[in-house]
Amino acid sequence: MTRDDAFLQFLLRMGDNTLVLGHRVSEWCGHAPVLEEDIALANTALDLIGQTQMWLALAGEVQGDGKSADDLAFLRDAWDFRNALLVEVPNGDFGRTLMRQFLFDSWHKLMLERLKGSSDERVAAIAEKAVKEVTYHVERSRDTVIGLGDGTEESHARMQEALDYLWPYVGELFASDAVDAEMVAAGIAPDPASLRADYDAILTEVMAEATLSIPKSGFAHKGGRDGRMHTEHLGHLLTSMQWLQRAYPGARW
Amino acid sequence: MAQPSEQQVWDWLDTVPDPEIPVISVVDLGIVRDVAWEGETLTVTVTPTYSGCPATAIISMDIETALRNRGVRDIRVKTQISPAWTTDWLSDKGKVKLEEYGIAPPRPAGGPERCPRCGSKAVEKVSQFGSTPCKAHWRCTDCLEPFDYFKCI
């Protein structure tokens, strides 16, 4: 694997995470329990899609065959996506959506803080921009997880169920492979495994405040960030997200 | 036509309203970072507020249209993401206009100083997010009016 091959994979991982999660979160538009939450979810989705444009535009540049961010978003198939499995699981109820958001945001913020010091100035610039938005995301998802976890009997039970369901998808965020080793060697990105201790410290604190128990199992579903095996859910998501460009290739507004 | 000075161009841009908050100009918003002639081409450097803000594309178009209407023919609007946009770049004039319009201006303390309508300091947050990416939703507990707060980033 050349450095550019690894760099491309790294950029697709960042951009596909924000793209797929942005699409998932946008599915709430018009359906959230109250207007303020609807607006907050739509704004979060918008930030994530905006960040996707920057990551995938850079991926297209590194790939060097003239592909735009839109080409990469709308014209690839499920097996070409490099997002972690966590972001493609269905929304479930509002509680599960916010639990997934918190589990992702906490990782995302730690990752972006480190990427601000990337040896590649384009990566550092995107991270500098994105981390400001993500700081807002995690503030809200953290508060909501605490509010619902330490809420009514019903909301507590649902949040514990959400954490139990999503926990096996957390480990993949910290899995390292040859792509990561190459990024570390180039000084472009940190080893994801090196973010785990800080992540666990945040989770321990927040889940204690939310009166939720972190599952003991260390089992992790994998196969998203290396594209080896996505869940069945990604294909369904793409049929909706990519429908227009597939039915009417090259359609423009 | 003689090439207008860079200061002249800044003055023109100060009349281009933000599409979402029309009382302030794109210069007040702090997103115009540079104006420079490169030969016959006028380059305007713009830094987006939020990466997904749909107003960004409209703003670039509005800038181009305004300059074209003033007779500038060769215009390049360049997007620059670093250094990242910050509310520190809002002009003082812009902050005053925001408050007059009913939007509490950003503060490093992380919340509005007072209700833009009645001036009461008894305010509380409704949601970190509001009607556009750059705003949060607050309310006054004295006059009970909800209002937008321009988030400090």
Half-sphere exposure of B85 (CA within 13 A, CB side): 26
pLDDT at A74: 96
Q: Do B128 and A54 touch (CB under 8 A)?
A: no
Query: Per-domain residue ranges for chain B?
Result: 6-86, 102-150
Q: Do B51 and A139 touch (CB under 8 A)?
A: no
Per CB-CB distance under 8 Å, the chain B contacts of A47 are: 50-52, 133
State chain A's mean pLDDT as an integer. 96
Give residue A208's pLDDT band: very low, low, confident or very high (50, 70, 90): very high
- Measured between CA atoms, the residue of chain B closest to residue A54 is B51
Q: Give residue-wise pLDDT tens across range A34-87.
A: 998 999 999 999 999 999 999 999 999 999 999 999 999 999 999 999 999 999
Q: Which of B52, B82, B131 sits opposite A125 (nearest CB)?
A: B82
What is the distance of C-alpha A126 from the center of its chain?
Answer: 15
B50 touches chain A (CB under 8 A): yes
pLDDT at B55: 85
- Residue B146 in contact with residue B102, Cβ under 8 Å? no
B131 touches chain A (CB under 8 A): yes
Structure token digits, residue A41:
């979810």
Q: Do B51 and A44 touch (CB under 8 A)?
A: no
A143 residue type, one letter: D
pLDDT at B53: 83
pLDDT at A108 over 70: yes
Q: Do B52 and A140 touch (CB under 8 A)?
A: no
Q: What is the DSSP letter of B17?
A: B
Give helix A121-149 / helix A94-115 axis angle, nearest 10°.
150
Q: Do B137 and A36 touch (CB under 8 A)?
A: yes
Neighbours of A79 (CB within 10 A): 12
Q: Do A140 and B82 touch (CB under 8 A)?
A: no
B58 touches chain A (CB under 8 A): no
Q: Do A40 and B128 touch (CB under 8 A)?
A: yes
What is the DSSP annotation of A167-199? GGGTGGGG---HHHHHHHHHTSS--GGGGHHHH
Q: Tell me the C-alpha to C-alpha distance, in Å, between residue A76 and each of A9, A27, A149, A238.
A: 14, 21, 38, 9
Q: Do B51 and A136 touch (CB under 8 A)?
A: no
pLDDT at A186: 97
Pairwise CA distance, residues B26 & A205, whole Å? 42
pLDDT at A198 over 70: yes
Q: Give residue-wise pLDDT tens across range A143-169.
A: 999 999 999 999 999 999 999 999 999
B1 min Cα distance to partner chain A (Å): 36
Per CB-CB distance under 8 Å, the chain B contacts of A18 are: none
pLDDT at A88: 98
Per CB-CB distance under 8 Å, the chain A contacts of B82 are: 121, 124-125, 128-129
- This prediction has a pTM of 0.93
B71 min Cα distance to partner chain A (Å): 29
The CATH classification of domain A3-247, taken from the options 3.90.1280.10, 3.90.190.20, 1.20.1260.10, 3.60.20.10:
1.20.1260.10
Give me the residues paired with residue B64 across strands: none
CATH homologous superfamily, domain B6-86: Fe-S cluster assembly (FSCA) (3.30.300.130)
Per CB-CB distance under 8 Å, the chain B contacts of A44 are: 129
A132 touches chain B (CB under 8 A): yes
> In what side-by-side order are the strands of the sheet with B123-127?
B103-104, B146-150, B135-140, B123-127
Pairwise CA distance, residues A22 & A108, whole Å? 13
B106 CB-near residues (< 8 Å, 6+ apart): B87, B90, B95, B149, B150, B151, B152, B153
B130 min Cα distance to partner chain A (Å): 7
Phi, psi of B32 (to 5 degrees): -85, 115
Q: What is the DSSP letter of B106?
A: P
pLDDT (tens, 9 = 90+) of chain B, 153 residues, equals 678 999 999 999 999 999 989 999 999 999 999 999 999 999 999 999 988 888 888 999 999 999 999 999 999 999 999 999 999 999 999 999 999 999 999 998 889 999 999 999 999 999 888 888 889 999 999 999 999 999 988
A3 CB-near residues (< 8 Å, 6+ apart): A182, A186
Structure token digits, residue A209:
């405040």
Query: Per-domain residue ranges for chain A?
Result: 3-247
pLDDT at B137: 92
**Total count of residues recorded for chain B:** 153
Closest CA to A171 of A246, A92, A224, A116: A224
Can you tell me the mean pLDDT for A119-147? 96
A253 touches chain B (CB under 8 A): no
pLDDT at B1: 64
